[in-house]
Structure 1
């Protein structure tokens, strides 16, 4: 009931304002479980995809979104529940990874659509990064559910990281044909099969999205970008100090 109301109140205006184009809607089953594996370019990805689907799709979100105090916290929790987000407790020995897997399995066992971003985080530069085998593949092999590759197009231009107000641009969504990994069901403890399944899904996402593929994890790329920015800022400060020292030396020499 809440989801339907939120889909009507958010999904309708979202489609009217941004007019997202969609290819491959026929690949979403009318009923039964499936895993939607998507690239991740923007915070808005989790809103555009559900907006264009008839069925509810459940994504995971950190539990802090659902437990913040005060009126704002309650409104935030209601919003995330309403649009199909599922809270995941990141505490514990293996943290969010195990929690996400359990959440995904519950959604699949209930016959629902489970949405997941195999990269684990948003792309820092619009490229497609290596998928993490611990979530997507384990849910697929534990349940035997089909995996449907999804490509979000240009959503990073609508809402880049750190930008609150989105730009009115038209995004796209390409939905690929379901991938059947049921032959590997129950083999979710084999790391080589997990890696192979994940790589196959990422290859299909790459074909749909047209993104350049980078064979490193997005989290590592973000650290490298942050470290490079920090080093550049430090070098800039050192250059400014050297320039200031040269000016002082010139003034003393002139005196």
Structure 2
């Protein structure tokens, strides 16, 4: 009988369940329990207030814009890292993970310094009539910075494993570069792209530290939902904070459910193809 390197199923499953219960289930359960302490009327009044709705709008629109930017730039960055060899390639590859290693508050301060009206980038953009810091554009930049690695790191390994013979065969049949990408590469990359988009969007929804420094935090204009929940927490209004946070929790679960459905369909289409 071959020796097992890893422990058996009962032990590993038990450790996994305990970890999930302590790290995931208990915090989410406490959040739901606190939000449930409100009556239906009070709960609806809190989550449908003008300020809360404005924060949802700012958060969702900025997260969508940041994710759309990351889709284009992240795909291009992953493509360059995988398909080309150039001086400094390893440095660029390592810098992709910088938002993971850098504390988000430090990232927020750095972005604010760069994009303020007297900053390196902000002063140049000011001459063009563009203001970044303390505007929704600043929120988008902060979200894009912190969530970019999710797109790159989900697409990059799939690109590395693609069979180059398929592209060569398409070229010999007279397909153009755009046709090869759309009909040969994109179907294989689509599940990974969906995974990266969902992770990037979820990270943008929950981002806090990098945003509060560059956003300006003006109610109805640049106030994100995470900040509004934090404000209610500082006011010791724990049920209201939990209620606002529960809305974003439900939005995240809904987004993940839709993404999983789309991924399953994309995988089935790829296998049939």
The structure in which a higher percent of residues are strand is: 1
Tell me if TM exceeds 0.5: no
Shorter-chain TM-score: what band? Answer: under 0.3
- Of structures 1 and 2, the one with the larger relative CO (CA 8 A, separation 6+) is 2
Higher helix share: 2
